Amino acid sequence: MVMVATIPGLAAKAEEPVAVTGATGFIGGEVVRQLTGGGFPVRALVRPAKAGRRQDRPGVAWLNGTLGDAAALVRLVRGCRMVVHCAGATRGLTPDDFREVNENGVRRLAAAIHSLPPVKRPRLLHISSLAAREPHLSPYAASKRGGELVLETEFADLPYTILRPPAVYGPGDRELRPLLRWLARGVLFAPGGAAARLSLLHVSDLAAAVRAWLEYGRGRDEGRTFTLDDGRPGGYAWEDIRRCGVDFRRRPVLRLNVPRRVVRLAAGINTARARLVVGCRPMLTAGKVRELYHPDWVCGHQELRAACGWEPRIRLLDGLRLMAGDDCGRRFGTIPGDVS
Ligand SMILES: NC(=O)c1ccc[n+]([C@@H]2O[C@H](COP(=O)([O-])OP(=O)(O)OC[C@H]3O[C@@H](n4cnc5c(N)ncnc54)[C@H](OP(=O)(O)O)[C@@H]3O)[C@@H](O)[C@H]2O)c1
């Protein structure tokens, strides 16, 4: 199987840029880094109010606009070879907070592509979420499925592909990183019971999958939805994650099962507090608790591998070592001497 890093001739790139939304975010930032590192010119959407977050790097042309700005979206996609849609709302208070970005944003972006003549329409790679598999769990999950449905029902004639990553972690991640840092310090706070299982994915592998799709995605796979994971069959039980912590530290890790009612209480307090602050978008809400305690977040990547040759390279133990390397200067937890 071909690994992306060893693809011959990768340096020879077409002139048309790849359009990226969400480039100031955790996943989009890594996608931009890997695309430009591979020689692909990138045109990246940035919200004017957040322009300070953009990281200038060679090969990136920034374009001011939002997912609510139809004219900017046409400027974004015109003349591009591919659009990677990484922008999304992962935090919010009301269903509308999620729907507006994750559903209506997809609709406006797809409409911008659709407004171009058919031969000039770039391929769209939409970063959805494994949460879309369980839309009843939360407003976030429903909105991610809503975004997929927009493509499947309203823009079925567009050349689009959907990726459904599971929980993604890595540099810049705000959701899983606290839990992994505690794991590295020797304590695992485990939501969910002994039977719960989840797949994980390092952000670097996700960005490599985007790049593989750009290089090797085939027309006949358009309109399809792919999952992707770190390659561990059956995902991780919380006990497996604890054992990864032990292997990483070479010392014991204490697993604390966090009762659902405690997290639900914390979510209630968090939500009430967020209602008092204008514009606050909380992460821990009742919907997030239902997601956290869902027993099956396992997926695979075989179909994606068959479609574009991508294979994951970073499992959790490697991911913990990479995190230790990133954080080394900041002295978190206990870092074994030989990690890098
Ligand atoms: N993180 C995960 O574990 C995970 C797992 C599966 C799927 N996903 C999906 O991956 C995508 C990216 O997630 P992430 O973790 O990278 O989130 P993130 O760090 O919060 O980044 C979100 C990005 O979307 C942009 N954005 C939000 N609303 C926008 C709007 N109205 N117009 C234009 N841009 C907007 C943000 O711009 P600003 O910088 O201006 O705020 C930011 O660049 C999301 O669709 C998410 O559902 C994430």
Residue 109 lies in a domain: yes
Percent of the chain with pLDDT over 90: 77
Residue 254 lies in a domain: no
Which two three-digit tokens encode residue 136? 């009843």
Angle between helices 139-149 and 95-102 (to 10 degrees): 30
Q: Are 31 and 59 in contact (CB under 8 A)?
A: no
Q: How confident is the model at residue 56, as a pLDDT?
A: 79
Domain encompassing residue 26: 14-168+202-229+299-312
Residue 152 lies in a domain: yes
Residue 332 has pLDDT above 80, yes or no: no
Q: How confident is the model at residue 295, as a pLDDT?
A: 95
Dist. CA 30 → ligand 1 center (Å): 12
Structural domains in the chain (count): 1
Residue 271 lies in a domain: no
Residue 57 lies in a domain: yes
CATH number at residue 49: 3.40.50.720
Query: What's the mean pLDDT when you consider all of the chain?
Result: 90
Q: Is 124 helix (H, G, I), strand (E, B) or coil?
A: strand
Dist. CA 126 → ligand 1 center (Å): 12
Name the residue with the closest Cα to ligand 1, atom 1.
168
Residue 308 lies in a domain: yes
**Residue 310 Cα to chain centre, angstroms:** 16
Tell me what percent of the chain is helix, strand and coil, each rounded to the nearest 5: 45, 15, 40
Q: How confident is the model at residue 309, as a pLDDT?
A: 94
CA pseudo-torsion sign 128, 129, 132, 136: negative
Which two three-digit tokens encode residue 270? 């968090």
Dist. CA 100 → ligand 1 center (Å): 13
Q: Which atom of ligand 1 is nearest to the CA of 167?
A: 3
Residue 195 lies in a domain: no
Lowest-confidence pick of 77-86, 183-192, 264-273: 264-273
pLDDT digits (tens, 9 = 90+) for 186-205: 999 999 778 899 999 999 99
* The model's pTM: 0.92
* Cα distance between residue 180 and residue 297, in whole Å: 18
Residue 337 has pLDDT above 50, yes or no: no
Q: What are phi and psi of 143, to 5 degrees?
A: -70, -35
* Cα distance between residue 200 and residue 183, in whole Å: 15
Q: How confident is the model at residue 240, as a pLDDT?
A: 97
Let me know how many helices (H) and strands (E) the chain has, helices first: 12, 14
pLDDT digits (tens, 9 = 90+) for 94-138: 999 999 999 999 999 999 999 999 999 999 999 999 999 999 999
C-alpha distances (whole Å) from 173 to each of 53, 148, 154, 204 are 15, 24, 32, 12
Residue type, 32: V
β-sheet bridge partners, residue 84: 20, 125
- Ligand 1 pocket: which of 64, 90, 281 to mutate (most atoms <8 Å of CB)? 90
Q: Which atom of ligand 1 is nearest to the CA of 49?
A: 40
Percent of the chain with pLDDT over 70: 91
- Cβ-based neighbour number of residue 193 at 10 Å: 12
**52 vs 228, residue with greater confidence:** 228
**253 vs 52, residue with greater confidence:** 253
β-sheet bridge partners, residue 201: 168
Protein residues with CB under 6 Å of any ligand 1 atom: 21-22, 24-28, 45, 47, 50, 53, 66-68, 86-90, 101, 105, 127, 129, 144, 165, 167-168, 175
Residue type, 303: E
Task: Name the maximum alpha-carbon separation found in the chain.
Answer: 60
Q: How confident is the model at residue 14, as a pLDDT?
A: 58
Dist. CA 87 → ligand 1 center (Å): 4
- Ligand 1 pocket: which of 20, 21, 24, 27 to mutate (most atoms <8 Å of CB)? 27
Q: How confident is the model at residue 328, as a pLDDT?
A: 60
Q: Which atom of ligand 1 is nearest to the CA of 168?
A: 3
Exposed/middle/buried for 285, CB within 10 Å: 0-12, 13-18, 19+? buried
Residue 8 has pLDDT above 80, yes or no: no
Residue 127 lies in a domain: yes
Name the residue with the closest Cα to ligand 1, atom 8.
129
pLDDT digits (tens, 9 = 90+) for 141-193: 999 999 999 999 999 999 999 999 999 999 999 899 999 999 999 999 999 77
Residue 340 has pLDDT above 70, yes or no: no
Q: Which atom of ligand 1 is nearest to the CA of 47?
A: 40
Q: Which atom of ligand 1 is nearest to the CA of 131?
A: 6
Q: Which residue has the tokens 């040759």?
A: 309
